[in-house]
Amino acid sequence: MPIAWIALNSVKGLGPVRIGELLKYFGSPEEIFKAGDQILRKSGLLPESCLETLRDGKLFSFAQEQIQKAHKEDVTVLTLHDSRYPVYLKEIFAPPPVIFVKGDFSVLHRDSIAVVGTRLPTEYGKQVARSLSTEIARKGLVIVSGMAKGIDTIAHKAAMDIGGKTIAVLGCGIDIVYPSSNRGLSEQIVKNGALLSEFPMGTAPEAYNFPRRNRIISGLSAGTVVVEAGLRSGSLITANYALNQNREVFAVPGPITSASSQGTFNLIKHGAVPVHCARDIVENIRFISGTPLTGGANSLTSESTPPIKEILSDWEKSLLDTLSCNPVRIDQIAEKLDTAAGELFDKLLNMELKGLIRQVGGQQYIKIL
């Protein structure tokens, strides 16, 4: 039962690092609570200020209340020793001892990419976030983000719009929707993935919670993509965590005159992989073990599925060769294919219905395969 875990995790002054050290020394939360004060002091792992709190019976009352709330809200409580705990997250420095999950927690075991960025994206940033997240989700990868306004929201929605899965990591209790305007999105994510939080139910969305939750966003993911970020963006914290966790970091280049591109410019300057389209991401991803991300049920390619170009007409192949991740106007497409623009609409619509291209406004198209 996770009651002892929740109780231990609720001791003020004990963070994930110190709890991890205590678990290595004593083996389990139950053994920590059973240990006498002398043994606890001898371990040198428990600050004196925490010793009195550890003996407070209210910890277990609080833990029991959390279990009851979780049951009522259909929330699953996973501990670090639970076989269902996500393996990617377990590998990071300071993994959360307890996580609360609502939705399909099996998505936590699938290969995933974090897509993060500013809460105030430009039109360029919105378009890129939507396009990249769509492409990544089509590859069978789960999109991880923080359900904040802006890039996070766009990434979650883009994945679900094409039937993909997504995970939202919260900076508050899992029973609290923040921002409140994303209540509908929150409900949709539960049906198409999962909400996750390390904070006890009822925890308010305090500002200091969000940098801490960012390590989980990157920790769940094989790589982190930063779409747009200012010089002080919280997304850069996520990218820094990813680097420390030995995960790949990707950044979308933007106009050098845009304040929203200053953070991503600095990331690229310091070694982040510049992203032009989803292929730039998936070709650089590795499993935690170091194995290239190819093969398997959640892989980028499938031996049982023929390459898409083998089932397209010559004209459709030519169209895909003409398009890229950057928007191309219909008159430019017509010129390259030596076709009248008026004859393209039906063909482009057909390709869009097949999920191979997308119209991004102003009669501009991008390739999403």
pLDDT digits (tens, 9 = 90+) for 81-119: 999 999 999 999 899 999 999 999 889 999 999 999 999
Amino acid identity at 309:
K
- Residue 169: CB partners within 8 Å, gap ≥ 6? 144, 145, 146, 147, 196, 197, 213, 216, 217, 220
Same domain, 39 and 153: no
The answer to whether residues 300 and 140 touch, using CB atoms and an 8 Å cutoff, is yes
Q: Are residues 256 and 180 in the same domain?
A: yes
Could you give the CA distance from residue 67 to residue 100 in angstroms, rounded to a whole number? 10
| In a domain? residue 298 | no
Residue 203 lies in a domain: yes
Please indicate, yes or no, whether residues 251 and 166 belong to a single structural domain of this protein.
yes
Instruction: Answer for the pair 159, 129: CB distance below 8 angstroms, yes or no.
Output: no
The model's pTM: 0.79
Q: Are 253 and 112 members of one domain? A: yes
User: Would you state the pLDDT for residue 368?
Assistant: 64
Strand partners, 273: 250
What residues make up the domain containing 119?
A: 105-282
The answer to whether 45 and 70 are in contact (CB under 8 A) is no
CA 249, 252, 255 angle in degrees (round to 5)? Answer: 145
In order of 115, 206, 233, 289, the CA distances from 214 in angstroms are 12, 14, 12, 22
The count of domains in the chain is 3
Are residues 114 and 190 both part of a single domain?
yes
Per-residue pLDDT of the chain (369 residues; tens, 9 = 90+): 699 999 999 998 888 989 999 999 999 999 999 999 999 999 999 888 888 889 888 999 999 999 999 999 999 999 999 999 999 999 998 999 999 999 998 899 999 999 999 999 999 999 999 999 999 999 899 999 999 999 999 999 999 999 999 999 999 999 999 999 999 999 999 999 999 999 999 999 999 899 899 999 999 999 999 999 999 899 999 999 999 898 999 999 998 899 999 999 999 999 999 998 888 888 887 644 444 443 333 333 333 333 444 457 788 888 888 887 778 888 889 888 888 877 787 678 767 656 678 777 667 888 765
Residue 328 and residue 239 share a domain: no
Q: Are 113 and 107 in contact (CB under 8 A)?
A: no
Q: Are residues 40 and 123 in the same domain?
A: no
d(CA 38, CA 9): 21
Strands (E), 159-297: 166-169, 193-197, 223-226, 248-251, 273-274
DSSP, residue by residue, 51-95: HHHHT-THHHHHHHHHHHHHHHTT-EEEETT-TTS-HHHHTSSS-
CATH number at 131 reads 3.40.50.450
Q: What is the pLDDT of residue 4?
A: 96
d(CA 1, CA 19): 17
pLDDT at residue 219, as a whole number:
96
CA distances from 319 to 142, 149, 299, 300, 350 (A): 28, 35, 26, 22, 12
Q: What is the pLDDT of residues 217-268, one digit of tens each?
A: 999 999 999 999 999 899 999 999 999 898 999 999 998 899 999 999 999 9
Q: Are 63 and 120 in contact (CB under 8 A)?
A: no
- Does residue 155 belong to any structural domain of this protein? yes
* Token pair listed for 204: 């308010």
What pLDDT was estimated at residue 125?
Answer: 95
Task: Round the average pLDDT of the chain to a whole number and report it.
Answer: 88
Residue 111: name the closest of 146, 77, 87 by CA.
87
For residues 151 and 259, membership in a common domain is answered with yes
Q: Which residues are registered as beta bridge partners of 329?
A: 364
Q: Are residues 326 and 256 in the same domain?
A: no
Match 């395969």 to its residue by tokens: 369
CATH of the domain at 337: 1.10.10.10
